[in-house]
Copies of this chain bind each other. A is one copy, B any other.
Amino acid sequence: MAIRHVVMFQFVETATATQRQAVRDGLRALKARIPEIKAIQCNHDAGLQPTGNFDFCATVDFESINDYKVYQTHADHQQLIAEAIKPILKARAAVQFELE
């Protein structure tokens, strides 16, 4: 069962551009360090909606639920959450769904 893990973040207003960039670059860097990641696309909101959007989104694809769980608990992923994401996190929304 191929899975797409989708997560959105709203950052605190005081989050700097450098801190926001570190989230994106850190997530993209996980691809090379966690082989279970089949594909990852992530970026800041493009500003196409005047209000209401979250600030950032990542979509991460896995070939199985088990691969997703390896990612979820992987030390490098957990370190990125603790050091780059949590310090500037205001809100989070997530879904994991089965791909067609």
- How far does the alpha carbon of A65 sit from the alpha carbon of B55 in the complex, in Å? 18
Interface size class of A (residues with CB under 8 A): 20 to 34
Q: Specify the main secondary structure of chain A where it touches its partner.
A: strand
Chain B residues, CB < 8 A from A53: 94-96
A88 at the interface (CB under 8 A from B): no
9 new A-B contacts, CB < 8 A, other than A4-B59, A41-B100, A93-B93, are A3-B48, A4-B57, A6-B59, A43-B100, A45-B97, A46-B96, A46-B98, A53-B94, A56-B97
Binding site for B on A (CB under 8 A): 1, 3-4, 6, 8, 28, 41-46, 48-49, 52-57, 59, 65, 68-69, 93-100
